[in-house]
Amino acid sequence: MASMLGLAAWSLAAQAADARRETFGAMPDGKHVDAVVLSNSHGMKARVIALGASLQSLEVPDRDGKSADIVLGYVSLDGYLSKPQYFGATVGRYANRIAKGRFVLDGHVYQVPVNDGANSLHGGTRGFDKVLWTVGAVAHDAGKASVTLRYVSPDGDMGYPGTLTVSATYTLDEDNRLSIDYRATTDKPTIVNLSNHAYWNLSGEGSGSVMAQRLTIPGDAYLPVDAGSIPTGEIRKVDGTPFDFRQGKPIGRDIRNADPQLLAGHGYDHNWVIGRDEATSPRVVARVEDPVSGRVLTLKSSKPGLQFYSGNFLDGTTVGTGGHVYRQGDAFVLEPQLYPDTPNQASFGSARLEPGHEYRNLIVYEFTTESAGGAR
C-alpha cells in the first residue's frame, strides 16, 4: 500500500508545473541577477531573468516531441550588458517610439531621452529593459507555475512624470500557454505603454531565416511611418499591399516588394490596427505557423495595436544562446501595445494613466503543433 501511495505521489509530482530560482550572474556593482525557471509536464520550460524582466529562453516541443529554445537571447549576462538588443525584454515606460522624445501632458512639455535617431524608443536610454527588477512571488501547483517581478520607476525617471510601480507576472500552465501580465499604477498623471520584445524563431533560435514561417495578423489597416519610423497619422487599409496578412502568408513572401513603406522600415517594422479601442479580454492578434517544426504560436492581447518587426537589423555580429550567429530575418517580433507616438497623436486614443487607476496588458502566447495533415 505504501509503495502504491509513493508511486501516486511521484506521478502527481511528475505531472505538476514547477518553478525554481537560480542565479544568472551579477551586475557590475555586484548585485545578483536572479532567474526563475518555469516548467510544465509537456516539456515546456521558460527562464525569466530579473534584468529587464526578460524572457531569456523558452523551450517548446515540436510535432515530434523534440524541444528547442525558440526565442533569441544570450547564454550569459555579459551579452545583455555589453550589447543590449531588447532580447525578450520588458519595454517601457513607453514601448515603441515617441516623436522627438517630447509630449505634452496637462499643458506641461516633457522631454525624454532620444535614442533612435531624433526619437525616443522603448523608454529612452535606460528603459525598463536595462534595469534590475525585484523577483517577488514564485509559485507553482499542479496546473501552473509563475513568477512576479516588480520595479518602481521614480518621478522624473527618464523625464517621465509620476512614480510608476510596475509588475510583470509570467505564468506557464499545463495547456502550454505562457502569459505575461503587465500592470502599473502611478501617483500622478503620466503615460505608459508596456510590452514584451521577444524575438521568435519557431524552428529554434539560431536555426536560420524565419521568412518561410506563416504569419496571420487579423488587422485590416496599419500605420504608415515617416523616415524616422514615426506614424504619419494616416490609418491605411492593407488591401492590395504587402501588409495584408489577414489570410496568412509566409513572412518573406512580399518583403522584397519595392513598397516605399518597406523601404522606410528596411522590412516590416510597423503597427497593425487590431482595433480602434481596447478589448475587454484578450483576443487573437497574431498566429504564426512553422512548416518545419510544426510549432504554432497564437498570440492574444486586449491592446488595439500590434507592432510586427521582421528582424531587419540583426546584422551577423551577435552570437546567441546556441552558439549560432543571428543574421537579418532570423527572427520576428510581435508586440501588442498602444499605437506608437499616441501621446502626440490625439486620433490614436490615449496613453494617459491617472492615480487610482491601473494600467494592464495581459499577453498570452499559446503553443500547439501541426502535422502535415493539420493541427494537433
Residue 4 within a domain: no
In a domain, 279, yes or no: yes
Residue 3 counted as domain residue = no
Q: How confident is the model at residue 313 (pLDDT cuts 50, 70, 90)?
A: very high
pLDDT of residue 3: 44
279: exposed, middle or buried (Cβ count in 10 Å: 0-12, 13-18, 19+): middle
Grid cell listed for 52: 529587464
Grid-cell match 519595454, residue found: 91
The residues assigned a catalytic role are 197, 335
Q: Does residue 268 lie within any of the structural domains? A: yes
- The domain in which residue 39 lies consists of 13-371
* Number of domains making up the chain: 1
Q: How confident is the model at residue 16 (pLDDT cuts 50, 70, 90)?
A: confident
Q: Is the per-residue pLDDT at 62 higher than 50?
A: yes
85 part of a folded domain = yes
Q: Which helix (H) or strand (E) segment is 57 a member of?
A: strand 54-61
Which pLDDT value is given to residue 10?
Answer: 37
Residues in contact with 131: Cβ distance below 8 Å, sequence separation at least 6, in sequence order: 51, 52, 151
Does the reported pTM lie above 0.85?
yes
Q: With contact defined as beta carbons under 8 Å apart, do 92 and 126 qualify?
A: no
Q: Rounded CA gap, 81 and 221, in Å?
A: 37
Domain harbouring 343, CATH code? 2.70.98.10
Are residues 123 and 207 in contact, defined by beta-carbon separation less than 8 angstroms?
A: no
The band of 11, judged by pLDDT with boundaries at 50, 70 and 90, is: very low
6 within domain boundaries: no
In angstroms, the CA 279 to CA 291 distance is 31
Q: What is the pLDDT, as a whole number, of residue 1?
A: 43
Give the integer Cα–Cα distance in Å for 292 and 371. Answer: 10
Q: Within a domain: residue 111?
A: yes
Residue 51 belongs to some domain of the structure: yes
